[in-house]
Chains A and B, each alone.
Chain A
Amino acid sequence: MKISNIQQLNRFKQLIFLVLTVAISTFSNEFFAQGEGLFKAKCAVCHQPHKNGTGPKLFEARKRWEAAGEGALIIEWVKNNAKLRASGKSARANEIFNEYKGSVMTAFTDLKDEEVISILDWVDAQPDPATAAPPTTGGAVTPGMDPEEESALSWIWIILGVMFVVIIMAVGGVRRQLNIATSDQLDVQEKLTYGEEFRAWAWKNRLYVGISTLVIVISLVVGVLQGLSRINVVENYQPSQPIAFPHSVHAGLNGIDCKYCHNSVTKSKSAGIPTVNVCMNCHKQISGEGKPYASEVQKIYAAAGWDPKNGPTGAYNNNTKPIVWNKVHVLPDHVYFNHSQHVVVGGVDCKQCHGDMTQMQEAVKVQPVSELNKIEGNIKLSKPTLTMGWCIECHGAKDVPLGNGKNAYYDEIHRRLKDNDKTLYRKYLKDGKVSVSELGGWECAKCHY
């Protein structure tokens, strides 16, 4: 009895050790990932890891504070810098404040200490792009043929087709002449026109002619219908915009999180086009004076009613003028689409549908599905973007994590399914997942009402 008890205890210890190791390793991973998320959500607007912007670069910021002998105070600084400055216990704080001409950093009192550390950990782990290998320029290399080559190819096919028809006709003509020449019944043959001869031939081979006619007619009908179904399919739609806004600079170079500007994406059905006050959070500082894009920033100032002459301390004059953008992704009125459903509940990344905006230098366009499929992590789809087929395809492919204890809503759905209809549940799980469509994602009234 005693021995078995000890054995059990040992096994228990081992188990605890195992659980703890797993927990710690996942925790630290999650911790790290949390740092990245927090950085993008809270800091990236003003800070970059390796470059001074609105605020100083954050790479090894901790080291710099430690060098100033105030390493312990950096967390306090991040959480509420004004308080720290006021307290007078930090020289470094006032130093930074003066260096950035008195522009005030937002207070993040809601951040926990370990969260601040996780941000700094993550930033310090980022390699400096300047010293790292230069990235491939000129966008991603497109595999396959380039468009010019492709169109040339179709011309070759047409020319070949025409030549083929000419050859067949020539051979047929020669054959006919030969027939006439070798025929005994000259009179009869000569009276036949081409048309009559064709009819006679068609009648003789009526089975083949009939079948092939049927095939041709059906494929024509199918082709026409398919063509019709592509009407108003708007892949590559790229309207001009009043302001030349480069996503590649904002989301790419500066690493601003999509949700910072499109902030209703997690709350509402519409992702929201950023309001001018959101632009002004940064562009109060970044006027682009002397840069080629200065005129574009001026348009924001005009919209906000901001006089940039006085610099960051300039004044609003209440003479605002809303910016009239051209909508890129336009859904018909009878379709209900909710961003927050997909982003928050479905956990779908923006790039699944909108492509990699960090590479998008010009105005936004509706990404063709071929582009979207190139993005790593995206569900690969075949139907054109923004068509119903595209939605349906994704709803069929995407799985809903049921009963993993993370969302009590789905836990309840899972419980009802497995307790009350096991066979149905097994049927769903045949492909290893419960897809959105199996939970009703293909039903009309999910999007049309």
Chain B
Amino acid sequence: MGMTKKYWKGLEELKETPAFIKSKDQEFPNQQAIEEFLGDDSLNESSTTRRDFLKFLGFSVAAATIASCEAPVTKAVPYVVKPENVTPGMPTWYASTYYDGCSYTSIKVKTREGRPIFISGNKDFGFTNGGVNPQIIASVLGLYDSERLAEPTIDGVSKSWSSVDSAVSSAIKSAKKVVLLSNTIISPSLTRAISEMELSMNAQSPSKFEHIQYDAISYAAMREANLKNWGAAIIPSYDFSKAKTIVSIDADFLATWLLPTEFAGQYGQTRNPDNKWMSKHFHFESVMSVSGSNADGRGMIKPSEQASVLAYLIKGMGGSTSVSSNLNPGAELIAARALKALKFSKKESLVVCGANNVGLQLLTNKLNYILRAYGTTIDANNPIQLYKSEDEKVQKFVSNVIAGKGPDVLLVLGANPVYSLPNGVEFGKALKNIKTRVSFASHMDETASLCNYTCSDHHALEAWNDYIAKSSEYAIAQPTIRPLHNTASALESILVWSGKATRGGKDSAVAYDYIKNTFQGLFPLGDFAFTTHNSCAALSVMPAALTFQDAAISSLPQAGDLEVVFYQKTAIGTGLNAGNPWLQEMPDPMTKVTWDNYITMNPLDMEKGGFVTTYDQEHGLNLATVTVNGTSLTLPVYPLPGQTLNTVGVALGYGRGGNGEKIGKAAYQTKEYGGYDLSENGNSKPIGANAFPCVSFENGTYQYYGSGKLSKVDGTYIIAATQIHHTVMGRHSIVRETTLDIFSNKDKEAYNPSFTLQRLNKEGHHEDAPLAEFDLWDAHPVEKIGHRWGMTIDLSSCIGCGSCLIACQSENNVPVVGKDEVRRGREMHWLRIDRYFASDEEATVGLRKDKETFSYDKAELAAENPKVVHMPMMCHHCNHAPCETVCPVLATTHSNEGLNQMTYNRCIGTRYCANNCPYKVRRFNWFNYPSYKKFTEVNPAQDDLGRMVLNPDVTVRSRGVMEKCSFCVQRIQSTKLVAKKELRPIIDGEFATACSDSCPTNAIIVGDWNDVNSKIYSSSNEKRSYQALEEVGIKPNMWYKVKVRNEENALLDDLQVVKKKAHHGEKKAHH
């Protein structure tokens, strides 16, 4: 077999710890220890005798029997007047736009009986081309958060809108200075309303009103650098789909940087080796990010080395700079390769840098200018309007407030400065000096709880909005539900307070009219209804003549002994949605940790520092305190391969709501049997710690790097990670990868060998025969007859972002189980994304080169190591499914459409099926998640409002039954029904599972395999297609496609060769 690498999901597997070896053969890692159960003191105190127990048992059996005899009377309440666009039982889709201050994309919202229940990307309209991220998909759950502010409040007490309006209006009128602190406003209507407010106020006294835009994560340095180089403080738009060479300096453009919803799709287009060309992606970073894990070459650098990488490339391209280009040897190797690629692709290259440092951004601009990337991959004429944070202005304002020189009125819109400012706590304390503090926040968050007025804005799905995220496109967000609570659009509030409108109540049309008015101004001949239907319309952009101006480089990041990086996680981001249980439980793409914040460190550094590098459900990780800029955070230390030595990473967005704020039920640590864990001050303990106070303000921008100290602290902390769960028993035919060179020049058998087994032929000799000829079973009649639903996943374009996982959770009513259950390996996600680290230290299948002398030094120090493969894994719907044969009650059966059906009401919970599943994709309902007290805080289905998000077409499973991926059978059935009703065959592409629907890179293709013209049929027959664990002979209806890296790899080249057919003579000699 052409396997070449050792793949390991966790350090436990790499090191083969005794615990790992013990657990790898078990489907369910650890049963509840008997001592743990019997050791519960409350059991000893119980006075129930055996006789009582039997009495209760008898009574409950009788009661249950009697109760089940009589069906309760169910009510049916039809509409009085049926809304025209609602048919009970049928979904209605709305095109809309999502923007929360960080993520932006064009979306489609699925509503049932007026309730939004699913968000997917809009593939037909909008420049994002259907790209989504987990946060956007999960935002539908945020709508039903029962802790959202339901009414306007004054000093924490619910009041009517009229009383709030009169108080705020009069405060604004009599104020000397009014400041509006908002996140970046990309709404033309809101911008218009604010400038009108400014105009009318400044007419009373000049500079009475000030609008400051402030984002939790600032991109001010990019705008500043562009101002210096190009004379305009813009962020240009980037086109990754045109870049043959991509060099990223710590910009996680696939998950968190700038506009990942657009970039991921563009990037995906360039990652298909079947196309004419495939991009080369080089990544230089400290903490392994989603983008870094997908790179063809990844350099491990410290933040202070970022400038050197850029200088190295500039000098290599013939430019000059005074900045030193000294790099560590490993990174220099990658930089040299990047330089080679850049020289080759020239203007079809793109260099991006994620640092909020003007010097670094100037260097990046210079490199892009030398490459002549402006005009091909970078378009300065169509700038991105997101992230307009003005760091210096913010910092000045904040220090004024802290010094007691604040305004009389402060309006806070879409920002949470008390949480996300480095000196947020001080700012919060000083807030009370401002007489009138108004918050538009949806929750009583860190800032809102210190404001005397809250005027809660609508949820994004309840309100009209308009956005210009890129100069070339105008987008509309339309409401998909009547406001659930007594909230009001922020636009309306601003109009009311500036005397431009009167309150419209629950069905207010104020915002709608105003937005329509703005629209007519932009498009005098435009049709508003038509634009709303499409959700967007094109705007013409004026090409501006810009000339490049070189600027002096200064203020680069300083080196330190221990450099600390503050990064964003895919799911949590800036902490905006910290109360969303789906996002908290989403395993991080790189670490696979749920519900937690930690310090990432290279395992090698950890061994040096005496930290444990392995953990399991009973054994935690060591704690450490990291101190940066005088702020200390105590967090567990997590071993992350690929982390640059002498650097650590801490995620932002955690530690929210620690002072009794109400930011959502799921935002806090829960106890083992339900209820919140309380901290010393009596409030619920937040998850993780807030790293924003460690951010520093230097040279005019907020810096998300710092030098610090780290010291070990006594004690351990248990982490709930899905990393080592569901092991695949060391079978190495699961992941296949190759290089572009091998793929284009060698035979398929070299990199994607088909399985053969030996048998005796007529002459009594051994011969190789294809796997299909060794079959115990009769073929299941699915091929060519009726439908056969199949799926291919392209490992080359899968970036591991996790959108599919959240989409699946949303579509299929997958329960949230909380940290304690995840720790025990009982997470319920139907779809998991396996993340394999790969090292070249492995010569052949499953065998290390030198098992005795193996060490991290070799695995980690090599510049390219480790490589990562992301592999979505769900039920393969095997045609010879091992699970089906062992079910004693036929609860899992095969359909003649190739589906492995799970019938919940037949299942008696023996779990034989899960035990027999080679992919470990079956999930058991250990508890009644929708009602058991342990899950009250975490599972949204336990909440009257949270339940509204459930998909009515999918059963909510109860305790004691097995469940698994159904291939979204409800969507299959409805697709078939629509086709039958329209008297036509199913059109290819019409059926999409939730995961394939949400994939930003279109890595997942589904369809009817029996349709020979379908995409799935041709995709499954491509040279790169293989089936995981094919040798088991279970005939899955799922194919993976070999991951192709655009790199040179001599070791792999030697190993991936077509094996010669074993010659008979040779064979004999062996015997």
Point out residues on A near B: beta carbons under 8 Å.
231-232, 234, 237, 239, 264, 267-270, 272-278, 303-305, 320-327, 330, 332-334, 336, 338, 340-341, 344-345, 406-413, 416-417, 419-421, 424, 439-440, 443-446, 448-449
Q: What distance in Å separates the Cβ of B50 from its nearest Cβ neighbour in chain A?
A: 28
- Kindly state whether residue B394 has any CB partner on chain A within 8 Å: no
Measured CA separation A117–B953 after assembly (Å): 44
Interface residues of B in 142-187 (CB under 8 A from A): none
Identify A326's interface contact among B74, B81, B956, CB under 8 A.
B74
Please name the residue on chain A nearest to B74 by beta carbon.
A327
* B956: A residues at CB distance < 8 A: 333
Return chain A residues, CB-CB under 8 Å to B75: 324-327
- Which of B425-433, B483-491, B702-710, B983-991 faces chain A? B983-991
CB of B1010 within 8 Å of the partner chain = yes
SS of A interface (majority) = loop
B969 touches A407 (CB 8 A): no
As a 0/1 sequence over residues 42 to 80 of chain B, the CB contacts with chain A under 8 angstroms (1 = contact) are 000000000000000000000000001111011111111
Contact indicator B71/A449 (Cβ below 8 Å):
no
Nearest chain-A residue to B897 (Cβ)? A440
**A330 with B89: in contact, given A275-B80, A449-B955 (CB under 8 Å)?**
no
A269 engages B71 (CB within 8 Å): no
* Complex contact A336–B970 (CB within 8 A): yes
Return chain A residues, CB-CB under 8 Å to B77: 322-325
A449 and B781 form a contact (CB under 8 A): no
B residues within 8 A CB of A333? Answer: 955-956
User: Across the interface, do B88 and A440 meet the contact criterion of CB distance under 8 Å?
Assistant: no
> What chain B residues lie within 8 Å of A322 (beta carbons)?
77-80
CA distance A410 to B90 in the complex (A): 24
Give 5 new A-B contacts, CB below 8 A, not counting A326-B76, A327-B75, A439-B896: A232-B69, A408-B985, A409-B979, A446-B973, A449-B901
List of A residues within 8 angstroms of B82 by Cβ: 275, 277-278
Query: Do A321 and B80 have beta carbons less than 8 Å apart?
Result: yes
Contact B80–A445 (Cβ < 8 Å): no
Q: Which among B79, B899, B905 is the interface contact of A334 at CB below 8 angstroms?
A: B905
Q: In the complex, which of the residues A239, A270, A334, A448 contacts B88, with contact meaning CB atoms closer than 8 Å?
A: A270
From residue B422, how far is it (CB to closest CB) to chain A in Å?
A: 50
Residues of A with C-beta under 8 A to B195: none
Question: Once A and B bind, how many residue pairs between them come within 8 Å at the CB atom?
Answer: 162
Q: CA separation between A446 and B899, bound complex, in Å? A: 11
Contacts of A264 in B (CB 8 A): 87-90
Q: Does B758 sit within 8 A of A, measured CB to CB?
A: no
For A304, list chain B residues within 8 Å (CB).
80
The distance in angstroms between the C-alpha atoms of A343 and B784, with both chains bound, is: 29
User: Is A345's CB under 8 angstroms from B904's CB?
Assistant: no
Chain A residues with Cβ below 8 Å from B784 are 416, 419-421
Residues of A within 8 A of B786 (CB): 413, 416-417, 439-440
A–B complex contacts, Cβ < 8 Å, 16 sampled: A231-B68, A232-B70, A268-B89, A273-B76, A274-B78, A275-B79, A304-B80, A305-B80, A322-B80, A330-B74, A333-B955, A336-B953, A336-B973, A340-B981, A424-B781, A444-B895
Interface presence of B906 (CB below 8 A)? yes
A80 to B973, CA, bound (A): 41
Given the contacts A270-B89, A323-B77, A324-B77, A406 and B983 also touching, CB distance less than 8 Å: yes
B residues with a Cβ closer than 8 A to A are: 68-71, 73-82, 87-90, 781, 783-786, 893, 895-897, 899, 901-906, 953-956, 966, 969-970, 973, 976-977, 979-981, 983-986, 1010
Report Cα–Cα, A240/B189, bound state, in Å: 54
A448-B904, A448-B905 known; A327 vs B983 contact (CB < 8 Å):
no
Question: CB distance B80 to A320 under 8 Å?
Answer: yes
Q: Which chain A residues border B902 with CB–CB below 8 Å?
A: 444-445
Partner of A443, one of B783, B896, B966, B976: B896
B941 smallest CB distance to A (angstroms): 13
Indicate if the CB atoms of A449 and B89 lie closer than 8 Å. Answer: no
CA distance A334 to B958 in the complex (A): 11
Q: Which residues of B contact A326 (CB under 8 A)?
A: 73-76
What is the CB-to-nearest-CB distance from B778 to chain A, in angstroms, rounded to a whole number?
13
Contact partners of A237 in chain B: CB under 8 A: 71
Which A residues are in CB contact (< 8 Å) with B966? 445, 449
Residues of B within 8 A of A416 (CB): 784-786, 1010
Compute how far the CA of A417 lies from the CA of B782 in the bound complex, rounded to whole angstroms: 11
Closest to A237 in B: B71
A272 with B984: in contact, given A231-B68, A445-B895, A449-B954 (CB under 8 Å)?
A: no
CA distance A303 to B79 in the complex (A): 10
Are A323 and B970 in touch, CB under 8 angstroms?
A: no
Separation of A4 and B131 alpha carbons in the complex (Å): 70
Q: Do the beta carbons of A409 and B970 come within 8 Å of each other?
A: no
Do A445 and B903 have beta carbons less than 8 Å apart?
A: yes
Instruction: Report Cα–Cα, A327/B75, bound state, in Å.
Output: 5
In the assembled complex, how far is the CB of residue B291 from the closest CB belonging to chain A, in whole angstroms?
37
**A419: chain B residues within 8 A (beta carbon):** 784
The 3 closest A-B pairs by CB, nearest first: A268-B89, A445-B901, A420-B784
| Contacts A270-B89, A333-B955 given; does A232 touch B71 at CB 8 Å | yes
Q: How far is the CA of A419 from the CA of B785 in the complex (A)?
A: 9
In the bound assembly, the distance between CA atoms of A3 and B687 in angstroms comes to 98
Residues of A within 8 A of B79 (CB): 275-276, 322
Q: B residues within 8 A CB of A232? A: 68-71
Kindly list chain B residues whose C-beta atoms are within 8 Å of the C-beta of A327. Answer: 73-76
Q: Across the interface, do A231 and B69 meet the contact criterion of CB distance under 8 Å?
A: yes
In the complex, A327 Cα to B954 Cα: how many Å?
Answer: 21
From residue A334, how far is it (CB to closest CB) to chain B in Å?
A: 5
Q: Are B78 and A344 in contact (CB under 8 A)?
A: no
A417: chain B residues within 8 A (beta carbon): 785-786
CB closest chain-B residue, reference A420: B784
Query: A333 — nearest CB in chain B belongs to which residue?
Result: B955
Q: Which residue of A lies closest to B981 (CB)?
A: A344
Partner pick for A272 among B88, B893, B953, B985, CB 8 A cutoff: B88
Report the nearest B residue to A415, measured CB to CB: B985
Least CB distance, A203 to chain B, in whole angstroms: 36
Q: Is the CB of A341 within 8 A of B90?
A: no
The one of A239, A321, A407 that contacts B980, using a Cβ cutoff of 8 Å: A407
Contact A408 B903 (CB under 8 A): no
Please name the residue on chain B nearest to A331 by beta carbon: B74
List chain B residues, Cβ under 8 A from A234. Answer: 71
Residues of B within 8 A of A408 (CB): 983-985
CB-defined contacts of B981 to chain A, threshold 8 Å: 340, 344-345
Return chain B residues, CB-CB under 8 Å to A406. Answer: 983
Selected contact of B78 from candidates A323, A409, A413, A443, CB within 8 Å: A323
- Which of A269, A303, A340, A420 touches B80 (beta carbons < 8 Å)? A303
A274 to B901, CA, bound (A): 35
Given contacts A326-B76, A448-B903, contact A412 B893 (CB under 8 A): no
Contact across chains for B980 and A409 when beta carbons are under 8 A apart: yes
Cα distance A413–B1010 when bound, in Å? 10
Asked if A268 contacts B88 (CB within 8 A), the reply is yes
Our pick among A278, A303, A444 for the contact of B893 (Cβ within 8 Å) is A444
- With the chains together, A344 CA to B81 CA distance in Å? 25
Hey, which chain B residues are within 8 Å of A445, CB to CB? 895, 899, 901-903, 966, 969
Contacts of A267 in B (CB 8 A): 87, 90
CB closest residue in chain A, given B955: A334
Please report the C-alpha to C-alpha distance between residue A306 and residue B977 in the assembled complex, in whole angstroms.
39
Chain A residues with CB below 8 A from B71, complex form: 232, 234, 237, 330
Most buried by A among B82, B893, B970: B82
CB nearest to A421 among chain B residues: B785
Report whether A421 and B781 are in contact in the complex, using a CB–CB cutoff of 8 Å.
Answer: yes
Q: Which residue from chain A places its CB closest to the CB of B985 in the assembled complex?
A: A412
Flag if B977 contacts A345 (CB, 8 Å): yes
Max chain B Cβ within 10 angstroms of own Cβ: one of A231, A304, A424: A231
Question: Which residues in B have their C-beta under 8 angstroms from that of A332?
Answer: 905
B549 to chain A, nearest CB (A): 62
A225 to chain B, nearest CB (A): 14
Chain B residues near A413 (CB-CB < 8 A): 786
Q: A193 → chain B, closest Cβ, in Å?
A: 35
